């Protein structure tokens, strides 16, 4: 059920009818971003040292709200659990646009050796684990707050408004819980006004240091989880004809799944992946078990193909099990939808990205089979997710620890590029309006 939540326009100061003022120059944005960089680094290090898992970002949300209040905002807290939203209303009339940053960490034990490395531990899925910002969400928060600081100083000349969204549970809420971008929308953050556009930055993902990469159209995959139980008839391993072997049937189903992606859907339309992450059944070498459990993930980019793959998986599992005398239960849970960057928005903002990206180069990349629930926002209004390289200048990004590695780190000067990008996108979009 949607709960009532109206994220209104909190006017910082009083909203007066102001005359048009001089445009905001790129040089001014760059100067303000440079002045803010030391503070951005300080914020990032605090977040890095104090990570919290999805739907557990209590102190993180409090710290974000505290920083926003210090900057003069009046944030709304407790959205979708620990999410925070703040609105900056410009001094001139115009549309609303949004900046989104994710705030949760991962169950990863940090091995970077940084002086501000996380030493936090917690329990996850019944196991003791470290907690780490191993995907760069610490930098995402810091860059969005840096943009909030700069835009606050430019407020009187903004021809429109900016919503800052600090979203919990991007890595996925714990089993049995709701969370993430979809819950923020369900709780009404856009019920009063839907932004004309929403922007986000993700660090890492193999890009050269300080360079931005973007792709119009499908950029990141849908991620759907499936689980299946194959039921046979237990018997002696030496007399399989006295029973029904669920291991053999499960193996045939797994092989059948692979032909869906390679033979049954149009591979020229978009890539797709069906992976098995767990097979569990049996307890002894000479006992054919009664049942086998499997679970895995589906990755896809096209919404119609996504639905077709699910239908074909259910049919394959049912018919293969029937042919072997077994029974099957399969459940496919809708997860994160594909992230599709609005092509018109990407084209419109490309000059801005070229100006702020290191060396003036914006890279084009292939669709990424990882997922991002920023897609929930960009399914409602035109959105654009960008990748920002986290390497030192000149370093080979392919040789660095990848996102979700216990060794993942960022070259902090690149965050200034992220702040410049956020602010420039806001200013340029509103001035074009």
Task: Read off the pLDDT band of 17 (50, 70, 90).
Answer: very low
Q: How many domains does the chain have?
A: 2
Q: What is the pLDDT of residue 394?
A: 86
- Structural domain contains residue 324: yes
Select from 336, 365, 382 the last residue of a domain: 336
- Span 112-124, average pLDDT: 96
Quote the tokens at residue 246: 């669920």
Q: Considering 336, 369, 399, which residue would you say is the last residue of a domain?
A: 336
pLDDT attached to residue 8:
55
The answer on 113 and 174 residing in a single domain is yes
What is the Cα–Cα distance from 292 to 406, expressed in whole angstroms?
33
Q: Which tokens go with 187?
A: 């709780």
Q: Where are the beta strands (DSSP E) in 180-246?
A: 197-203, 212-214, 217-220, 222-231, 235-236
Say if residue 128 is in the same domain as residue 274: no
Instruction: Share the mean pLDDT of the chain.
Output: 94
Q: Between β-strands 362-364 and 212-214, what pairing exists: parallel, antiparallel or unpaired? A: parallel
Is 315 among the domain residues? yes
Query: How sure is the predictor about 20, in pLDDT bands with cuts at 50, 70 and 90?
Result: very low
CB 418 within 8 A of CB 388: yes
- Domain boundaries, position 291: 222-336
- What CATH number is attached to the domain comprising 246? 3.30.70.360
Task: Show Cβ contacts of residue 230 under 8 Å, excluding neighbours closer than 6 positions.
Answer: 246, 249, 250, 253, 281, 291, 292, 294, 321, 326, 327, 328
Same domain, 51 and 74: yes
* Domain identity same for 200 and 161: yes
Predicted confidence at residue 327, as pLDDT, reads 98
Can you read off the two tokens belonging to residue 130?
A: 């470290």
What is the distance between the alpha carbons of residues 211 and 217, in angstroms, rounded to a whole number? 20
336 sits in the region (left: phi over 0; alpha: psi -120 to 50; else beta) called beta
The answer on 324 and 400 residing in a single domain is no
Residues 242 and 115 in one domain: no
Q: What is the pLDDT of residues 78-96, one digit of tens each?
A: 999 999 999 999 999 999 9
Q: Which of 276, 308, 336 is the last residue of a domain?
A: 336
Three-class SS of residue 120?
Answer: coil
Q: Has residue 19 been placed in a domain?
A: no
DSSP secondary structure code for residue 326 in this structure: -
What band does 165 get if pLDDT is binned at 50, 70 and 90? very high
Using the predicted structure, report yes or no on whether residue 307 has a pLDDT greater than 70: yes
Q: Is residue 6 part of a domain?
A: no
Is the same domain home to 187 and 317?
no
Region of 244 please: left (phi>0), alpha (psi -120 to 50) or beta.
Answer: beta
């Amino acid at each position: 059920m949607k709960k009532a939540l109206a994220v209104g326009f909190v006017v910082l100061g009083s909203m007066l009818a102001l005359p048009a003022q001089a445009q905001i120059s790129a040089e001014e944005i760059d100067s303000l971003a440079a002045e803010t960089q030391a503070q951005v680094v300080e914020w990032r290090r605090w977040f890095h040292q104090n990570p919290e898992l999805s739907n557990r970002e209590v102190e993180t949300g409090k710290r974000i709200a505290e920083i926003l209040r210090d900057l003069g905002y009046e944030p709304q807290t407790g959205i979708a659990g620990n999410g925070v939203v703040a609105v900056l209303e410009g001094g001139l009339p115009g549309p609303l646009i949004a900046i989104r940053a994710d705030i949760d960490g991962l169950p990863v034990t940090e091995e970077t050796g940084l002086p501000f490395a996380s030493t936090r531990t917690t329990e996850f899925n019944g196991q003791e684990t470290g907690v780490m910002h191993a995907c760069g969400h610490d930098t995402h928060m810091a860059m969005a707050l840096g943009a909030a600081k700069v835009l606050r100083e430019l407020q009187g000349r903004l021809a429109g408004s900016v919503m800052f969204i600090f979203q919990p549970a991007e890595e996925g809420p714990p089993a049995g819980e709701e969370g993430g971008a979809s819950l923020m929308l369900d709780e009404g953050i856009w019920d009063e006004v839907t932004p004309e556009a929403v922007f986000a930055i993700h660090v890492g993902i193999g890009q050269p240091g300080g360079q931005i990469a973007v792709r119009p159209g499908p950029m990141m995959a849908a991620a759907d989880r499936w689980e299946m139980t194959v039921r046979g008839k237990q018997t002696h391993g030496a007399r399989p004809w006295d029973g029904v072997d669920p291991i053999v049937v499960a193996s045939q189903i797994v092989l059948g799944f692979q032909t869906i992606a390679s033979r049954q859907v149009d591979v020229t339309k978009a890539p797709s992946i069906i992976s098995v992450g767990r097979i569990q059944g049996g307890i002894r070498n000479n006992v054919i078990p009664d049942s086998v459990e499997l679970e895995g993930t589906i990755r896809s980019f096209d919404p119609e193909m996504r639905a077709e793959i699910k239908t074909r998986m259910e049919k394959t599992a049912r018919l293969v099990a029937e042919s072997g005398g077994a029974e099957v239960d399969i459940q496919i849970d809708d997860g994160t939808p594909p992230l599709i960057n609005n092509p018109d928005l990407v084209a419109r903002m490309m000059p801005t990205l070229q100006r702020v990206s290191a060396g003036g180069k914006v890279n084009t990349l292939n669709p990424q089979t990882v997922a991002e629930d920023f897609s929930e926002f960009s399914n409602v209004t035109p959105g654009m997710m960008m990748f920002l390289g986290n390497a030192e200048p000149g370093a080979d990004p392919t040789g660095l620890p990848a996102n979700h590695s216990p060794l993942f780190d960022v070259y902090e000067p690149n965050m200034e590029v992220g702040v410049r990008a956020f602010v420039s996108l806001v200013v340029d979009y509103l001035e074009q309006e």
